[in-house]
Amino acid sequence: MAVTDEAIARIRDLIKSGGLRPGDRLPPEKELSESLGLSRNSLREAVKALEMINILDVRRGDGTYVTNLRPSSAMDAMSFVLELQQDETILDLLEVRRMLEAAAGAKAAALITAEQLQELRDLLGQVGPESDVESLVAHDLAFHRQISTLAGNEFLCDLLDVVAGRTSRVRVWRGITQEGAIERTLGEHALIVAALELRDAALVSARLTAHVSGVEDWVRRAL
């Protein structure tokens, strides 16, 4: 194991064991390096690496702290990596999105309340066939975000946020170039809400799968 990797593993184990908790300030560098059996150089490199993935927060003149360790913080690194990918990977991302959306929808069907259903209906009413593409994409992101939130799994919701954000450009592209894309999207959203109202997990999952598959099919033809 490389020296920096070993240092990262030592800090990780310290957090996992409860020796450091979210929001805790790390001990001074000399003290921490001695307690972990690390050189100060390898400790510094490990801290830099863990800062990049939002595990540690280095505050100049104050100290180094463990972040809140919420899933949304960890997703920033994944989002950065996805931004570096080439457009050819978009089909892979859409496939991941399709599977995650179906799973989130099935969970939401079992948990959704009458009030939350009404919120989704209200969201549907905010756009129409006359809406521009930017408004439609913003609505699409909000609609799917609401469903993933209702699934009650923070990690799943944050993961979908990352994937959905990376595929937003292709949704704009489709809305501009494909005839009837706006009407089709809104109609499919209405069908998804209707399935949620029935609390039918299998139907919600199927309709979300078909919904995202439509984008996949269009991208495959466009490429």
Measured distance CA(143)–CA(207) in Å, rounded: 14
Do 99 and 45 have their domain in common?
no
Do 41 and 78 have their domain in common?
no
Q: Is pLDDT at 87 greater than 60 in this prediction?
A: no
Do 48 and 150 have their domain in common?
no
Cα 40 from chain centroid (whole Å): 35
Do 47 and 103 have their domain in common?
no
Do 61 and 120 have their domain in common?
no
Last residue of a domain, which of 66, 81, 105? Answer: 66
Q: Bigger pLDDT: 205 or 90?
A: 205
- Tell me how many domains the chain contains: 2
Nearest to 52 by CA among 22, 82, 73: 73
Task: Tell me the per-residue pLDDT of 22-70, one tens digit each, with 9 for 90 and over.
Answer: 899 999 999 999 888 888 898 998 898 888 777 888 998 889 999 887 7
Measured distance CA(2)–CA(112) in Å, rounded: 48
Considering Cα of 192, then 197, then 198, then 201, what sign does the dihedral take?
A: positive
Q: Is pLDDT at 156 greater than 50 in this prediction?
A: yes
State the DSSP code for 63: E
Domain that holds residue 109: 73-222
pLDDT score of 1: 47
Last residue of a domain, which of 66, 93, 114? Answer: 66
Q: Is pLDDT at 80 greater than 80 in this prediction?
A: no
Do 43 and 111 have their domain in common?
no
Cα 119 from chain centroid (whole Å): 22
DSSP string, 185-210: HHHHHHHHHHHHHTT-HHHHHHHHHH
Do 216 and 123 have their domain in common?
yes
Measured distance CA(142)–CA(132) in Å, rounded: 16
